[in-house]
Amino acid sequence: MTDIAGMKAELDSLVREQADRRTLREQQGEEIKARSHEYMTKQVQAAERYVQHVREMAQRKTKSGWSTDRSHAEPASAFDAEAYPGPGGFEPAPRPVRDEPRAARRPRAAVEDDEDFNNPW
């Protein structure tokens, strides 16, 4: 009978340990969740400050005359045939033709060759 009582006591201690571990795991999970919520809240606040800053900069540019009318217009659509012609409508600009020949490269001085005396090859 003492053997059964010992086994029961050991089983009770294992059940208690398991319950303690579960409680600890749940507490750690809640702490991690709270920290991540705090971190994400700070990230959202930083993003909101950045967006506000960008808006203020855009307003300053407009007020001071930095901005052009084109920046406020709708951007051209990728499907707009006039803004982006198809394969048959695009002609590359011709390359400029030089009238005079290119200047010849100047030869290296012999002194420059002697400066490489530390080079083993």
Q: Which residues of 74-95 are buried (b: 16+ CB within 10 A; e: fewer)?
A: eeeeeeeeeeeeeeeeeeeeee
| Per-residue pLDDT reduced to its tens digit, 18-62 | 999 999 999 999 999 999 999 999 999 999 999 999 999 988 887
Residue 109 pLDDT greater than 80, yes or no:
no
pTM of the model: 0.40
Tell me which range, 2-6, 33-37, 74-78, is most confidently predicted by mean pLDDT: 33-37
> What's residue 23's pLDDT?
97
pLDDT at 79: 55
Distances in Å between the Cα of 21 and the Cα atoms of 17, 26, 28, 29, 121 are 6, 9, 10, 12, 69
